[in-house]
Chain A
């Protein structure tokens, strides 16, 4: 890229600009620095949240750890950058992070025009509304004239507009910069209704003073497939992130868990499982990874069911039902292409 000029003006600023765009291969870069850098949310319980010791946990965090396990055999070789909704895409485009795992909705425009590639879906969500029980509202269709609080810079803003327009209802939008302050505005009574993805509503409701006083309305007004995002153009990197997720879903289908994976690898006669766990064939080499990469993902992070139960399942404060995130064999939509 204009090498003479580059030499002539090799100031730090210019070097930084070039390196962001002309990186050879994300996998090589990641291997060289020794960790995967992931962009996560500022704190959504169950998806990505840091505890008082700075340890991150959640579904999105596990998606990042799965990639780290696939590359390094060590799920801890992942670092996290908290990003607001409006910072996230720029951070990924500019190379500040390697993967964006920040409950980000897969949409046409984002996929087509932002220089991004969506990999796989790790949570199927949909937007809903939360209101005070004292309001006496049970359906989103009763919300004509309501004041609605939401966080800025998300698909939520557009879905909300579409929903009210479609049903010819009027409303007053209050769009606050950060989710926590939007929730505070709702809590103080500025709005009748708070809207975001239903998983987010559950997580936010758990933060309110009296969670039982608020009802999440039944309607789901949109499709929100959430999943990891990578930069456009590095197909190998996209494949790695995608298959780190698919392997977890396939593992659940094959009843392989982090607990029994070692035993199964030793004892199984199933050639499919042997190939998956790296006991046979060259599956790892095809992605530029070690033969036991999938084994590491399952052993260090677990299958999809384990990830779900650990972070957002009924035993956690977020307490989400598995819903449509069940495997396709159980009536859900979680479906991964076969490993072969």
Chain B
């Protein structure tokens, strides 16, 4: 009996799969244990030193102001709310930066491949300059150099009800009045109608081969219907106009220079990298494909849209994802020029006022991790959608 047990034990231990499993369990246990040990050590040391721990501070009143807040925020609000204000600022600048950088990148990437000598050279200069200068320096340039060139509030540049000075760009602020629901309804209705139109056009084309400019027609429809709804409800929008005051321009909507500088720096810097990715993607598509498309009689624009771009995208998307991630993380440099994003508000002011270093940095890591993974997930989904479907 003892023989039998030994032999079965032996065979189990000699089994590669079982051993791999055992090692993985041991490794996992070790990782969890080290993590637990480090954490309890941290807690013990902080308790020894009399440092308070935990996230209770998020419910305390913050007491400090934040320059840009897209949700209601005053000094009397809590650290938790300040955190959300900062989170929104980070997400907004990242998403706007990604959209702008993509547009700039595609335009510049195509321009660099242009047959026009001047256009191609200008794009080359843009790419080589911007991607070789540190982003922080570029932010300082956009912030301090552009600020220095603008007039003081007293001498604002005025255009209709728009003001431009060192404090930002001031524009009329639309205030929604009663009856705006009618306009929203009209807008939604027109969108539903245009989706139906696009579906119908596609079906008809598949069936009969007749082509219909569905996208332009949809755009026109949305504009016309929304405007008619506005007119029918008697234009239920009033504008809060900016006005000069003692120190400044007050009222209206303001785009502060901190926001503009961070957005411009982020999108032009990342745009330079995206331009190169787009250029590489387009060059990766064999010229024979274009020739074949032309020999079929396809117009150049259709060749690009239907033949070249779908193939180029397969090369473009993975490195593009990296650039989007870089942009989102680089938004943290905005702290240096007073843009109140996550690093500035949570790791700067909150950490300093409360002394909760581990908690504050942990929160920031969690946010950047989540933000990056979300972008990554979305781009991976898009990549899969665009990849070659093999049958």
Contacts and interface: CB of A to CB of B under 8 A. Distances in A.
A161 B82 CA distance: 14
Interface stretch (A42-50, A187-195, A236-244): A187-195
A161 B48 CA distance: 34
Given A18-B45, A146-B248, 9 more contacts: A14-B41, A86-B348, A113-B50, A152-B352, A173-B65, A175-B67, A177-B336, A177-B338, A181-B140
Interface of B: 34, 37-38, 41-42, 44-46, 48-52, 63-67, 75, 140, 143-144, 147-148, 152, 166-167, 245-248, 250, 257-258, 335-338, 340, 344, 347-349, 351-355, 357
A114 B355 CA distance: 6
Nearest to B352: A153
B344 A177 contact: yes
Question: Which one of B41, B67, B351, B354 has the greatest number of beta carbons of chain A within 10 Å?
Answer: B41
Interface in A26-74: none
Nearest to B333: A177
Interface residues of A, number: 53
A177 B348 contact: yes
A77 interface: no
Contact of B167 (A2, A147, A232): A147
B166 A189 contact: yes
A317 interface: no
Interface of A: 1-2, 5, 9, 14, 17-18, 20-22, 85-86, 89-90, 93, 109-110, 113-115, 135, 144-147, 152-154, 157-158, 160-162, 165, 171-178, 181-182, 184-185, 188-190, 192, 231-233
Nearest to A11: B34
B82 to A, nearest CB: 12
Nearest to A142: B246
Given A158-B64, A175-B67, A188-B166, A145 B247 contact: yes
Contacts of A181: 140, 336-337
B352 A231 contact: no
Contacts of B34: 9
Given A110-B355, A115-B46, A161 B64 contact: yes
Contacts of A192: 247-248
Contacts of A232: 49-50
A93 B64 CA distance: 24
B64 A157 contact: yes
Question: Which one of A14, A86, A144, A171 has the greatest number of beta carbons of chain B within 10 Å?
Answer: A86
B52 A157 contact: no
A153 B336 CA distance: 12
Given A9-B34, A14-B37, A184 B348 contact: no
A21 B258 contact: no
Contacts of A153: 348-349, 351-353
Contacts of B357: 89-90, 93
Contacts of A2: 37, 41
Contacts of A233: 48-50
Contacts of B337: 176, 181, 185
A173 B52 contact: no
Question: Which one of B65, B143, B257 has the greatest number of beta carbons of chain A within 10 Å?
Answer: B65
A115 B340 contact: no
